[in-house]
């Protein structure tokens, strides 16, 4: 089997990252966690020891090299050659990552790096605009979705297990609003690529979804 480039898009709560990580592991591919890349920029920004401003972030991102590599069963994140896999998950990084990801030049740089990683092959990347914008020439394109009711039920179960009390109707309304915002935004909206395969996961287990993704890659 050749070294494929796999792009998975889909709305909030569809379970993309869960199944993408499992499928990548079974394929022996690098799972490109696009969120981790923005965390890497946030980490390097904090290393400057200065007040975090948009100007500082933009100065840092200019010549940053973020790389994700699959080794020994896990994905390693490096910044300019330094392994920061654990360090990008701190509360300090979490506190500024939204500010980092909101900047247009940061997004442009990260998309450029994501494309370079895609060129290596043997990668599986998920997001909102991977097949339409980041990797339009991917070998396998999947649009992963589920009904709003199913996505709300999964998210409700996940949050309830963590001790949160969530109203199911409010959860459904929130997911519907997120879908609308993602689909209508000006920059890289959430749409199914014309040549992507629709995979509706409503009523399917995680293992069943992973098996279907693996079947599409064969």
pTM confidence score: 0.79
127 is in an annotated binding site: no
Is residue 152 annotated as involved in ligand binding? no
Q: What is the pLDDT of residue 207?
A: 97
Residues 84 and 13 reside in one and the same domain = no
Q: Which of 78, 103, 120 is the last residue of a domain?
A: 120
For residue 59, the model assigns a pLDDT of 97
CB atoms within 10 A of CB 23: 24
Comparing CA positions, the residue from 131, 153, 162, 156 lying closest to residue 144 is: 131
Residue 17 among known ligand-binding residues: yes
Q: Are residues 105 and 128 in the same domain?
A: no
* 13 assigned to a ligand binding site: yes
Give the integer Cα–Cα distance in Å for 82 and 77.
8
**16 marked ligand binding residue:** yes
3-state helix/strand/coil string of 31-99? EECHHHHHHHHHHHHHHCCCCCCHHHHHHHHCCCCEEEEEECCEEEEEECCEECCCHHHCHHHHHHHHH
The structural domain count of the chain equals 2
Domain that holds residue 53: 30-120
Q: Per the annotation, does 15 bind a ligand? A: yes
Residue 121 marked as a ligand binder: no
Residues 112 and 156 in one domain: no
Residues 180, 174 contacting (CB under 8 angstroms): no
pLDDT at 2: 72
- Given pLDDT bands bounded at 50, 70 and 90, which one contains residue 42? very high
What CATH number did the domain enclosing 5 receive? 3.40.50.300
pLDDT in tens, 50-88: 999 999 999 999 999 999 887 777 789 999 999 999 899
Higher pLDDT, 205 or 12: 205
Looking at the fold, whether 106 and 128 belong to one and the same domain comes out as: no
Query: Where does a domain end: 74, 104, 120?
Result: 120
Please give the Cα distance from 172 to 214 (Å, whole number). Answer: 30
């Amino acid at each position: 089997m050749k070294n494929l480039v796999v792009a998975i898009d889909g709305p909030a709560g569809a379970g993309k990252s869960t199944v993408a990580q499992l499928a990548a592991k079974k394929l022996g591919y690098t799972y490109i966690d696009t969120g981790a890349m923005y965390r890497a920029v946030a980490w390097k920004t904090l290393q400057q020891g200065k007040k975090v401003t948009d100007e500082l972030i933009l100065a840092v991102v200019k010549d940053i090299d973020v790389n994700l590599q699959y080794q020994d069963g896990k994905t390693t994140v490096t910044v300019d050659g330094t392994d920061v896999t654990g360090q990008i998950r701190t509360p300090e990084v979490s506190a500024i990552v939204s500010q980092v990801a909101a900047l247009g030049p940061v997004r442009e740089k990260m998309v450029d790096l994501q494309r370079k990683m895609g060129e290596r092959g043997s990668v599986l990347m998920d997001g909102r605009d991977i097949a339409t914008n980041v990797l339009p020439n991917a070998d396998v394109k999947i649009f992963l979705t589920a009904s709003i009711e199913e996505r709300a039920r999964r998210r409700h179960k996940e949050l309830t297990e963590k001790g949160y009390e969530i109203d199911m109707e409010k959860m459904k309304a929130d997911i519907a609003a997120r879908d609308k915002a993602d689909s209508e935004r000006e920059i890289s909206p959430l749409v199914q690529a014309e040549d992507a395969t629709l995979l509706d996961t409503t009523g399917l287990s995680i293992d069943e979804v992973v098996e279907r993704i693996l079947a599409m890659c064969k």
